[in-house]
Amino acid sequence: MSIIESSQKRPRILVVGGGYVGLYVALKLQKKVKAHGGIVTVVDPNPYMTYQPFLPEVAGGNIEPRHAVVSHRQHLKHSELINGTVTSVNHANKTAVIRPVDGEEFELEYTDVVMSAGAITRTFPIPGLAETGIGLKTIEEAVALRNQVAQRIESASNMTDPEARKRALTFVVVGGGFAGIETIAELEDMARHLVQLNDRVSKDEVRFVLVEAMGRIMPEVTEEQALWVVEHLRSRGIEVLLNTSLADATDGNLQLINMADKSPAGEFGTDTLIWCAGVMANPMVRSTDFIIEGRGRIDTRTDLRIKDENGEALDGAWAAGDISAVKDVTGGLPDGTCVPNAQHAVRQAKLLAKNLYAARYGVGSVKEYKHKNLGAVAGFGRNKGVAKVLGIKLKGWPAWMAHRGYHGMAMPTFERKFRVLGDWMVAWFYSRDALQLNNLDVPRAAFEASAAPKK
């Protein structure tokens, strides 16, 4: 009998995805459910939850990668953890199929399922994008970007071919939402720092380009603030191209077009194309028997139970976060559902845990989800940022402090909060740590070279 099978007979709450929602649901339920003789099982291909709002700061060398993720093993000691992917859910039978990171697929029975597999990067069929681009949704991407920017600057400093040098020093971000703006701002700040350390490259040679298809950036802040952000980025030498879209990225040769008349809007080469143009619900929902709404999310009631075909609650089926369409009674997206963000994910997770406990064990009552957006905070590198908190508009240093204050508090677990705080304090005295680590994708190269038969 496998380890998993040995817990098969206990009433199981299966949590599909240990990100924001999954981590909080498990943290809130693991001990209570155990006390009732049940078990919380968390399945995720990663052994950690990623605090995605910190990814731009990880890419920019302000936070160490491991400090921006929360270990499941360390913090979910009363849960059963399976390092793998849920490939399908058959709620009619209350079973899910799991593909472990290593080994054969197997089926798991559950009493309740919590769908919390989040979202993936949304892309379009642009030639060359899949081959040359990189997103910023995972910690690995953030690490790769930090290395990429530092490596390109270092390599360019030895290049004599002007075209190759120009290409190496051109960094492009597509998408002017929060993630795209924070990413380009943090990377530009880091590049500025790196150039100061390297007298073979000048700041004027480094080119940062933001490409945004809409006429404005950052829909989460006011129009006036968004205009200020554009001005701020331009004052730092970042080219902000609005109403512009990427038409072709073959071999890193970018062709841009004007959104209004589809006329050419520029052509240049780059070694670094970062795609931050939005997310879509995890397509694994299509391998379930739940009802999927127009935007590809699981149709979910405001008590966070998944709807049946009549809009009634399915027994033992719950969803929250980016994978779910939950009505936002205070506003939200144009279709009246919650915006996919961490603010909703964490609050929904906490309510879901309470509601599930109430429904399954009869303790407490099931409540409706209601949360009025508190605003938004964004950091653009040291002492720079923009924020709108409870209607109060901030920019520059106060906004940056609000950003750090909010996210420092929101980072799950005290242990991780302290690690991040430590990184910020060290960076305050010694600046960001922009050192690239080479050969992370070929760690055995040095050993292979040593062990190869000598001629």
Ligand X SMILES: Cc1cc2nc3c(=O)[nH]c(=O)nc-3n(C[C@H](O)[C@H](O)[C@H](O)COP(=O)(O)OP(=O)(O)OC[C@H]3O[C@@H](n4cnc5c(N)ncnc54)[C@H](O)[C@@H]3O)c2cc1C
- Residue numbers of the site for ligand X (CB under 6 A)? 16-22, 43-46, 49, 52-53, 55-56, 85-86, 116-118, 136-137, 178-179, 282, 284, 321-323, 340-343, 345
Structure-token pair, residue 138: 């995972």
Residue 46 or residue 255: which is nearer to ligand X going by CB? 46
Q: Which of 271, 60, 56, 276 is nearest to 170 (CA)?
A: 271
Cα 377 to Cα 386: distance, rounded to the nearest angstrom:
6
Cα 415 to Cα 368: distance, rounded to the nearest angstrom:
32
Supply the minimum distance, in Å, between the C-beta of residue 454 and ligand X.
Answer: 44
Residue 21 or residue 394: which is nearer to ligand X going by CB? 21
Supply the minimum distance, in Å, between the C-beta of residue 59 and ligand X.
Answer: 9
DSSP letter for 136, please.
S
Supply the minimum distance, in Å, between the C-beta of residue 135 and ligand X.
Answer: 8
Cα 361 to Cα 36: distance, rounded to the nearest angstrom:
8
Q: CA 204 → CA 61, 170, 236, distances in Å?
A: 22, 11, 11
**Which residue number is nearest to ligand X in terms of Cβ?**
19
Contacting residues for 52 by C-beta, under 8 A, at least 6 apart = 20, 137, 342
DSSP string across 253-289: EEEEEETTT--EEEEEE-SEEEE-S-EEE-GGGGGBS
Residue 49 or residue 63: which is nearer to ligand X going by CB? 49
Supply the minimum distance, in Å, between the C-beta of residue 158 and ligand X.
Answer: 32
Supply the minimum distance, in Å, between the C-beta of residue 402 and ligand X.
Answer: 12
Cα 121 to Cα 103: distance, rounded to the nearest angstrom:
27
Residue 54 or residue 208: which is nearer to ligand X going by CB? 54
Residue 169 or residue 188: which is nearer to ligand X going by CB? 188
Residue 137 or residue 404: which is nearer to ligand X going by CB? 137
Supply the minimum distance, in Å, between the C-beta of residue 411 and ligand X.
Answer: 12
Give the DSSP H or E segment for 113. Answer: strand 112-115
